[in-house]
Amino acid sequence: MPKRILVVEDNDLNRKLFCDVLKANGYEVVPVADGQNVVPTALKFKPHLVIMDIQLPNVSGLELIAEFKRDKALAETPVLAVTAYAGKGDEDRIRGAGAVDYLAKPVSIGPFMAAITRLLGDEQRERA
């Protein structure tokens, strides 16, 4: 049974890239472009991991991460935050909101997949 990953990204090209790479590595993926649909989609999909863009229209990725942490059904789901705006103190704020890891855009595929593998505990994938 493949592990499920929710990809929250408003940029079409980034969302497609993340989803294509994850699917090629055997994960089941559901993309979400609109931050307002994230929590209902996550509750239905029950992801093992969430990749969360921080800069979303209508709602901040930080707010969504905090909302996940308050919801009993989603609180234990690890969140990998990605953002193009990596300023001083941003990583601390993002981790403080509840993200377990953080990548700055542009994201390289190697570090991206290493983070996914580490967060999902897929050590066998790293050796493959």
pLDDT digits over 38-59, tens only? 999 999 999 999 999 999 988 9
CA dihedral 77, 101, 60, 7 (to 10 degrees): -60
- pLDDT reading at 17 higher than 70: yes
- How confident is the model at residue 123, as a pLDDT? 53
Percent of the chain with pLDDT over 70: 94
- How confident is the model at residue 86, as a pLDDT? 65
pTM of the full predicted structure? 0.92
Per-residue pLDDT reduced to its tens digit, 67-94 = 999 999 999 999 999 988 767 788 888 9
Per-residue pLDDT reduced to its tens digit, 89-114 = 888 889 899 999 999 888 999 999 99
| φ/ψ (deg, to 5) at 71 | -95, 120
| Tokens read off for 70 | 């308050």
Domain count, the chain: 1
Query: Which domain range does residue 87 map to?
Result: 4-127
Check which CATH number belongs to the domain holding 105 and give it: 3.40.50.2300
| φ/ψ (deg, to 5) at 95 | -65, -35
Say whether 111 sits in a helix, a strand or coil.
helix
